[in-house]
């Protein structure tokens, strides 16, 4: 505590100051009460709407609020106990009863856009008008489907993942058998058909970081690149089948790949997918696909980039497809943009060439895939999942 003496104003001056402050407080309080009883939006705190119920009317008698949650403060300026109601036709939406004379009471109401009536004291008094205008909150809530609306899309997507995983297991097994049988040409012909089901489920399977690295990692991510002992999966087979034109050492790689995709099946079966994961996974995977198109390093030996990109888009299209009915209702404009995005991406992929214009063609694919990824990233917000 500071023991240093401070200057004190004269006692008479202090008393005058206190009296003046008290008088000012009385004036401020009186003005606040008057404004609270006269203005619809004069809040005691932010967001509170004040209504005064007089003997024969409300003041204000008409008011407007945005849709959503609103706090009303009802001031009873009459000489009788009153109630205040918000009515939709004959239905009472909200009410505050037994407000004694000279007392105020608060009512919190969550209202949808529309025009409602308010009671003003005695039941035979004229009713007031409450207009609730649309707001960002009400628009978002209107767009948000009920939880039950996601049951069908989730079930359909889970079935799709299960069926594609079965195709992946079968195709990978066929590839492994061709390699073990020493049939290079057949193994080469089965390489891309085995990859495609994995790319279809990649929007979900990419969450399994350990398996995705074992199944789909490029040599660029290993210290010794193609010669690294940890390099495995599809791209290790690609390097042997197309880069070295040899089956040497590939039997063990193919067997491990078959085991890894079997584990994918188990993980997919146990995977708990939330509604927001469907669009988010597709968006993220197409962003990776766009990076691959821009870098030009994918399928550098097999030169099956076009088929890869087609499979990437097909998997994302399924994700979008299961959500399509919800998007169509919530945001027709976004639906149109996503449809246009898929059309543009498929067109640029179809136009891929290996000649002098290959760089420009890949750049076009990358740009279209990236834009499609951006549009897909907006789906969750459109259907109230963000």
What pLDDT is recorded for position 3? 40
* Whole-angstrom distance, CA of residue 129 vs CA of residue 136: 22
pLDDT at 262 over 70: yes
Residues 6+ apart with CB under 8 A from 105: 73, 74, 76, 84, 96, 99
What pLDDT is recorded for position 124? 75
The share of the chain scoring above pLDDT 70, in percent, equals 85
* Whole-angstrom distance, CA of residue 278 vs CA of residue 157: 8
Here the tokens at position 175 are 């590839």
DSSP characters for 261-313? HHHHHHHHHH----HHHHHHHHHHHHHHHHHHHHH--TTTTT--HHHHHHHHH
What pLDDT is recorded for position 357? 75
Q: Which of 154, 69, 136, 135 is nearest to 386 (CA)?
A: 136
What pLDDT is recorded for position 49? 94
End-to-end CA distance of the chain: 53
Q: How confident is the model at residue 295 (pLDDT cuts 50, 70, 90)?
A: confident
Q: Which residue has the higher pLDDT, 29 or 307?
A: 307
- Residues 275-288 pLDDT 10s: 999 999 999 999 99
pLDDT at 345 over 50: yes
What pLDDT is recorded for position 10? 45
What pLDDT is recorded for position 355? 65
Q: How confident is the model at residue 98 (pLDDT cuts 50, 70, 90)?
A: confident
Strand order from edge to edge, sheet including 114-118: 62-66, 128-133, 114-118, 82-88, 91-99
- Please name the helix (run of DSSP H) or strand (run of DSSP E) that holds residue 183, with its range, or none: none
pLDDT at 172 over 90: yes
Strand order from edge to edge, sheet including 48-53: 58-59, 48-53, 68-76, 104-111
- Average pLDDT in the chain: 86
Give the mean model confidence (pLDDT) for residues 25-44. Answer: 38
Residues 133, 371 contacting (CB under 8 angstroms)? no
* Whole-angstrom distance, CA of residue 148 vs CA of residue 146: 5
What pLDDT is recorded for position 252? 97
Here the tokens at position 315 are 């998997």
Q: Which residue has the higher pLDDT, 104 or 145?
A: 104
Give the mean model confidence (pLDDT) for residues 354-382. Answer: 90
Give the mean model confidence (pLDDT) for residues 189-198. Answer: 98
What pLDDT is recorded for position 199? 98
Q: Which of 368, 318, 307, 375 is nearest to 343 (CA)?
A: 368
Q: Which residue has the higher pLDDT, 3 or 235?
A: 235
pLDDT at 14 over 50: no
pLDDT at 28 over 50: no
Residues 125, 57 contacting (CB under 8 angstroms)? yes
What pLDDT is recorded for position 140? 65
What pLDDT is recorded for position 363? 94
pLDDT at 25 over 80: no
The radius of gyration computed from the CA coordinates of the chain, to the nearest angstrom, equals: 34
Q: Which domains does the chain have, with CATH numbers?
A: 38-140 (2.60.40.420), 147-382 (1.20.1420.20)
Lowest mean pLDDT among 9-23, 300-314, 352-366: 9-23
Lowest mean pLDDT among 26-35, 161-170, 259-268: 26-35
Q: How confident is the model at residue 150 (pLDDT cuts 50, 70, 90)?
A: very high
Give the mean model confidence (pLDDT) for residues 258-269. Answer: 96
Give the mean model confidence (pLDDT) for residues 189-215. Answer: 95
Residues 258, 176 contacting (CB under 8 angstroms)? yes
Give the mean model confidence (pLDDT) for residues 82-95. Answer: 86
* Whole-angstrom distance, CA of residue 161 vs CA of residue 171: 15
What pLDDT is recorded for position 376? 97
Residue showing tokens 């079965």: 166
Count CB-CB contacts under 10 A for residue 240.
22
Here the tokens at position 263 are 């584990």
pLDDT at 245 over 70: yes
């Amino acid at each position: 505590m500071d023991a240093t003496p401070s200057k004190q104003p004269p006692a008479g001056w202090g008393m005058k100051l206190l009296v003046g402050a008290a008088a000012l407080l009385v004036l401020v309080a009186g003005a606040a009460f008057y404004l609270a009883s006269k203005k619809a939006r004069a809040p005691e705190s932010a967001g509170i709407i004040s209504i005064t119920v007089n003997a024969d009317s409300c003041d204000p008698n008409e008011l407007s609020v945005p849709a959503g949650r609103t706090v009303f403060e009802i001031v009873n300026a009459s000489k009788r106990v009153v109630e205040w109601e918000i009515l939709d036709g004959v239905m009472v939406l909200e009410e505050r009863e037994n407000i004694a004379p000279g007392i105020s009471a608060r009512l919190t109401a969550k209202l949808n856009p529309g025009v409602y009536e308010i009671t003003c004291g005695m039941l035979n008094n004229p009713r007031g008008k409450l207009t609730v205008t649309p707001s960002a909150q009400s628009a978002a809530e209107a767009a948000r489907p009920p939880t039950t609306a996601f049951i069908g899309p989730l079930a359909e997507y889970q079935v799709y993942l299960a069926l594609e995983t079965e195709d992946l297991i079968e195709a990978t097994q066929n590839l492994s058998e061709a390699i073990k049988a020493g049939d290079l040409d057949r193994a080469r012909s089965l390489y891309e058909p085995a990859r495609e089901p994995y790319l279809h489920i990649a929007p979900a399977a990419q969450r399994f970081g350990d398996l995705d690295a074992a199944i789909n990692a490029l040599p660029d991510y290993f210290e010794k690149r193609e010669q690294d002992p940890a390099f495995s999966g599809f791209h290790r087979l690609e390097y042997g089948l197309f880069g070295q034109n040899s089956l040497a050492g590939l039997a063990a790689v193919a067997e491990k790949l078959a085991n890894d995709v079997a584990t994918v099946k188990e993980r997919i079966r146990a995977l708990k997918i939330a509604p927001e994961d469907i669009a988010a996974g597709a968006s993220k995977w197409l962003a990776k696909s766009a990076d691959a198109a821009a870098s030009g390093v994918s399928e550098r030996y097999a030169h099956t980039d076009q088929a890869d990109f087609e499979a990437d888009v097909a998997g994302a299209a399924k994700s979008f497809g299961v959500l399509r009915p919800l998007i169509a209702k919530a945001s027709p404009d976004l639906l149109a943009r996503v449809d246009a995005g898929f059309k543009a991406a498929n067109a640029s992929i179809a136009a891929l060439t290996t000649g002098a214009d290959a760089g420009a063609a890949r750049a076009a694919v990358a740009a279209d895939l990236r834009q499609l990824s951006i549009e897909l990233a907006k789906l969750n917000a459109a259907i109230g999942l963000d």
